Amino acid sequence: MKQRTITFHSIGAAIVMSALVAGAATAAQMKAVGPQPGDCKRAYEAVNGPSLPVAQAMWVQLVASKYGNKWAQWAGAKNKSITPLGGSQFQARAKPCFYQPVP
């Protein structure tokens, strides 16, 4: 009787292990290879410029040089703002997000 119990437990453990391995293999196939549209960086990027459009353009250039052009889309950025700092200085600040515009 004890021998059969051990056998049933061994078979049950084998079934559970094969299910776990199959689940892990399926999850590995589903994982994205690279960034997907909407993925955002954790840190903000900020830049100061002499006017609102220049500050925005400088933000785009800064982000493009750090992360690449698909991260440097002002339209796709998160929590974006351009604020006056006084005088003729403006700060463009946003979290870069991966963005692929639809053609």
What six digits make up the tokens of 57? 């353009």
Query: Global pTM?
Result: 0.67
Report yes or no on 52 lying in a domain.
Answer: yes
Report yes or no on 4 lying in a domain.
Answer: yes
Structural domain total, the chain: 2
The model's pLDDT over 24-40, given as tens digits with 9 standing for 90+, comes to: 555 556 666 888 888 99
Give the domain range for residue 9.
1-31
Instruction: Please tell me whether residues 56 and 89 are part of one structural domain.
Output: yes
Instruction: Please tell me whether residues 58 and 84 are part of one structural domain.
Output: yes
Helices and strands (DSSP H and E) totals, the chain: 2, 3
The model's pLDDT over 83-97, given as tens digits with 9 standing for 90+, comes to: 999 999 999 999 999
Instruction: Please tell me whether residues 49 and 84 are part of one structural domain.
Output: yes
Which burial class, exposed, middle or buried, applies to 92 when counting CB atoms under 10 A from its CB (0-12, 13-18, 19+)?
Answer: buried
